[in-house]
Structure 1
Amino acid sequence: MSADRYHQQFTVSWDQLHRDVRALCHKLVERDFKGIVAITRGGLIPAALIARELDVRLIDTVCIKSYDHMDQNRLEVVKGVDHNGAGWLLVDDLVDTGRTARAVRDMLPRAHFVTVYAKPEGRPLVDQYLTEVAQDCWIQFPWDMGIAYVEPLVEQLRQPADGRSD
């Protein structure tokens, strides 16, 4: 998380993600899609949940690698698709600055593009989203976090102030 760009943090649990995807699906249930195209990697899990909720069996991927730490403007399409997206649902977890979304939108101009979360800079590139978050908010997705043991409070309070236990 870049300290100069992100000033807020939003942690999404597995339960919250599932609830949010189901809420997004309520907006999509009346539509008939040929299949789903997930944008890897962030779109994989939302796409799987949407596929279940909408009973879609055909799932494809667009695989894009970005080089944020080396080159701010370089995106590499690792795997594309052989259609323009007509009748397909394009899924990603988040639209942020819109760099990836713009590249995928160019590849699949006729797809219906949805994200679970959207930031203001990228929001105009998607057809639907569920929740808007601030541009300076870092989203912690559940697949990026681990579960760690936390000592009971009473044990934490028994430890000396220097953090060493005797």
Structure 2
Amino acid sequence: MLTDDGKHLYVSWDEYHRLIEKLALKVHASGWEFDQILCLARGGMRPGDVLSRIFDKPLGIMSTSSYRDDGGTLQGRLDMAKYITMPKGELAGRVLLVDDLADSGVTLRAVVDRLRAMPAISELRSAVLWVKGVSTYTPEYFVETLPTSPWIHQPFEEYDTMRPDVVLKRHQES
């Protein structure tokens, strides 16, 4: 649900899963065959996991982080993991790169540039749920464009500030 001021987008679990399924359908409709999925942790882990299951392809994980300041709302330095975690072998062939959104586009562009420099990758395409209007990078596959570039409140973000004592209290009350 987008707020009236266009600055915040609140996403329920049902909507979130529906968007992932729509993304899967867009990739499928393109007819592109790929060998592996690489998701960017943490935002791309849930979409990557679901797409890996739907397409029955191995899932690799690459950790990146760019939201560091002001409670995670101001973009700081981009950190990219040196190594990519794969179930077996190396990242190679035709790879679908998955994240949750193209925000500024900085992270996706940097990762795409790094991956395209890897000789073992023959083709790379990217997929996200949302592309913000301010993004300087547009993935090959996306579900929604957000022209006002709202802050997206994803359903799992409640865990960002929830600590074990809060979880314990929640379960003692139920």
Relative to the length of structure 1, the TM-score reads: 0.73
User: Does the 8 Å contact 2:108/2:137 carry over to 1?
Assistant: no
Letter of the 1:64 partner, please give it. Answer: T
Judging changes above 3 Å, is the alpha-carbon distance between structure 1 residues 18 and 127 closer, same or farther for their aligned structure 2 residues?
A: same
* Number of residue equivalences: 141
- What aligned pairs does 1:2-17 form with structure 2 within 5 A after superposition? 8-17=7-16
Judging changes above 3 Å, is the alpha-carbon distance between structure 1 residues 103 and 38 closer, same or farther for their aligned structure 2 residues?
A: same
Alignment partners' CA distance in 2, 1:50 and 1:72:
27
Alignment partners' CA distance in 2, 1:126 and 1:51:
18
Alignment partners' CA distance in 1, 2:51 and 2:38:
11
Q: 2:80 aligns with which of 57, 77, 91?
A: 77
With 90-99 and 45-54 compared, the bigger mean Cα shift is at 45-54
Deviation at 1:135, TM superposition (A): 4.1
Unaligned runs of 5+ in 2: 85-89, 117-122, 160-174
With 137-146 and 74-83 compared, the bigger mean Cα shift is at 74-83
Report SS of the residue matched to 2:127: strand
Look up the match of 1:158. Answer: none
Alignment partners' CA distance in 2, 1:123 and 1:76:
18
Deviation at 1:33, TM superposition (A): 1.5
User: Does the 8 Å contact 2:11/2:153 carry over to 1?
Assistant: yes
Report SS of the residue matched to 1:27: helix
Q: 2:129 aligns with which of 116, 136, 140?
A: 116
User: Does the 8 Å contact 2:24/2:51 carry over to 1?
Assistant: yes
Deviation at 1:142, TM superposition (A): 1.0
Judging changes above 3 Å, is the alpha-carbon distance between structure 1 residues 80 and 7 closer, same or farther for their aligned structure 2 residues?
A: farther
Backbone CA RMSD of aligned residues: 2.7
Query: Which structure dedicates a bigger proportion of its chain to helix?
Result: 2
Deviation at 1:125, TM superposition (A): 3.5
Q: Deviations over 1:35-91 (max 9, x none)?
A: 1000010000011111122222x11111112253189552121244465x6401100
Judging changes above 3 Å, is the alpha-carbon distance between structure 1 residues 48 and 123 closer, same or farther for their aligned structure 2 residues?
A: farther
